[in-house]
A and B are shown apart, each in its own frame.
Chain A
Amino acid sequence: MKYFYSHLIAIDSIIEELDEMDLSDEEKIHLGQLLDSSLHHTILDAILSQLSDSDKRAFMQCITEGNHDKIWKFLNEKTARVEDKIKKAAKDLKEELQEDIEEVHKLK
């Protein structure tokens, strides 16, 4: 599933670390859903925080339509340097998640 911000958030490193853990398919999917949904909420929060209430609603409407070009056109018109804000929000969360994985290694 590709989201409009997928190209901005490199998740390779965190996936690689999860891949090294002894996880069943169900466990991988479970953690994956938690991670993806947390990222989604965090990134949308970072974007919506830049918008007025009416623009928030218009942006959500763009998302429901699923047209990535339209979403980016809207964001580029309404916000400044939104890509940087998305990258920063994702990076901060990923760092926290990676710290959690490091804690798992200490459990051994």
Chain B
Amino acid sequence: MQFSSKKPGFEYLRKKWSARHRASQNRFWEKHGEALKQVAIGSLGGLMLLTPAKSLTVQTHLFASRDDVLKGYDKNVLLAESLSDKIPKDLSPLEKQEEMSIVETLSKSFGFKVTAQIDNIRLNRNFGLIGGEQHLLRYPGDNLYAHADTTVDWAKYGSAGMAPGLGAWGYFAPSKSEFTEIAKQREKYYLAIQTFLVPGYAENVAKYRDFFKFRKMLVVNPKTGQAVVAVIADAGPAEWTGKHLGGSPEVMDVLGLSEGLRQGPVLYFFIDDQSDQVPLGPVKVTEKLAKI
């Protein structure tokens, strides 16, 4: 998508930074192009931000769009198709038979065990309305700008803002120096779940708190098949909101729900991953799905 802006500040930076970008591209390819000739062009395409200076212009590559909201498509669309006759037409909780069928489909699709119940604990529901949450403070002194690895991260996720309070389990790390990659991923891909509505929660607060702390879950947008593995890091939303769970800005983006009202119906189940093999983040349907 190409667009124009009448804001002089933006126009100034756009022109200046486009020129700088072209200069950095040209410098790179002039100095190293000969040596990299033998690297397969397909491999270069996989280098994300590294663009050939002449064959792919700045304009075609960099003029921004939110088209990447569709990036979770491809084989996951087949999953959406297979789920279409399994989920209720409204947002009512799943019937037992529906739940079993969906759990089986999701487990086969993603190649790991998806389940509605672990250790006799199950959520109040597994199909509901997810709403966009804010970023969470990860360690004392954390700020919104530090959440972004790249400027595009900030552009895409920064506007969600920072929640005024801490997540359900407090900070993700006691200090910045003890902040690990795992803790970073947990905040990036976190869910707020209505744990307080789980049957038996009031009678077993300590046990359930330990169970839910960073519990790994699969969330699927049944309309598109876009899916993400995330952890429970907060309690909510309140019942009066009409929503049933919340997702971090990155979770909402992966699910294709980061635009507009930032909400939509999703399926959400536990992942039985005792050996911690399933990574957090976007998840693609495996080849097996086509046979379901």
State the A residues within 8 Å of B (CB): 1-3, 6, 11-16, 18-19, 21-38, 40-42, 44-45, 48-49, 53, 56-57, 60-61, 63-64, 93, 96-97, 100-101, 103-104, 107-108
Given A14-B151, A104-B9, A107-B8; 19 other pairs, CB 8 A cutoff: A11-B151, A15-B151, A15-B154, A15-B158, A18-B154, A26-B65, A27-B5, A27-B7, A27-B64, A28-B158, A29-B156, A31-B13, A32-B151, A33-B151, A36-B151, A38-B24, A40-B49, A41-B28, A48-B28
Q: Show 10 residue pairs from A and B whose CB-CB distance is below 8 angstroms, ordered by the A residue.
A: A6-B150, A12-B145, A15-B158, A26-B1, A28-B155, A41-B24, A56-B32, A60-B36, A107-B9, A108-B9
Q: Given A45-B31, A56-B32, A56-B36: A38 and B17 within 8 A (CB)?
A: yes
Contact B151 A1 (CB under 8 A): no
Per DSSP, chain A at the interface is helix
How many B residues have CB within 8 A of the partner chain?
Answer: 55
Contact of B62 among A16, A30, A100 (CB under 8 A): A30
A23: chain B residues at CB < 8 Å are: 7, 10
- What's the minimum C-beta distance from B244 to chain A, rounded to whole angstroms? 27
> Which residue of chain B lies nearest to A96 when distances are taken between CB atoms in the complex?
B20
Contact B32 A37 (CB under 8 A): no
Q: Given A26-B65, A56-B36, A101-B13: A37 and B154 within 8 A (CB)?
A: no
Q: Which of B38-46, B84-92, B197-205, B262-270 contacts A (4 or more CB under 8 A)?
A: B38-46
Contact A1 B50 (CB under 8 A): no
> Which 5 residue pairs spanning A and B have beta carbons closest together?
A32-B151, A28-B155, A30-B64, A40-B49, A53-B35
Decide if B176 is an interface residue (CB 8 Å cutoff).
no
Contact B146 A12 (CB under 8 A): yes
B7: chain A residues at CB < 8 Å are: 22-23, 27
A45: chain B residues at CB < 8 Å are: 24, 27-28, 31-32
Contact B152 A49 (CB under 8 A): no
Decide if B21 is an interface residue (CB 8 Å cutoff).
yes
Contact of A1 among B5, B8, B14, B48 (CB under 8 A): B48
Q: Given A29-B156, A32-B155, A34-B17: A41 and B36 within 8 A (CB)?
A: no
Contact A26 B3 (CB under 8 A): yes
Contact B38 A15 (CB under 8 A): no
B5: chain A residues at CB < 8 Å are: 24, 27
Q: Given A25-B66, A56-B35, A60-B43: A15 and B17 within 8 A (CB)?
A: no
Contact B150 A3 (CB under 8 A): yes
CA distance in complex: A11, B154 (Å): 10
CA distance in complex: A29, B48 (Å): 15
Per DSSP, chain B at the interface is helix
CA distance in complex: A27, B13 (Å): 10
Q: Given A30-B63, A37-B21: A60 and B39 within 8 A (CB)?
A: yes
A36: chain B residues at CB < 8 Å are: 49, 150-152
A12: chain B residues at CB < 8 Å are: 143, 145-146, 148
Contact of A33 among B143, B146, B152 (CB under 8 A): B152
Contact A19 B158 (CB under 8 A): yes
CA distance in complex: A56, B29 (Å): 13
- What's the minimum C-beta distance from B97 to chain A, rounded to whole angstroms? 41
> Which residue of chain A lies nearest to B45 when distances are taken between CB atoms in the complex?
A64
Q: Which of B125-165 contact A (CB under 8 A)?
A: 143, 145-146, 148-156, 158-159
Decide if B82 is an interface residue (CB 8 Å cutoff).
no
Contact A6 B149 (CB under 8 A): yes
Q: Given A101-B13, A103-B12: A64 and B47 within 8 A (CB)?
A: yes
Decide if B16 is an interface residue (CB 8 Å cutoff).
yes
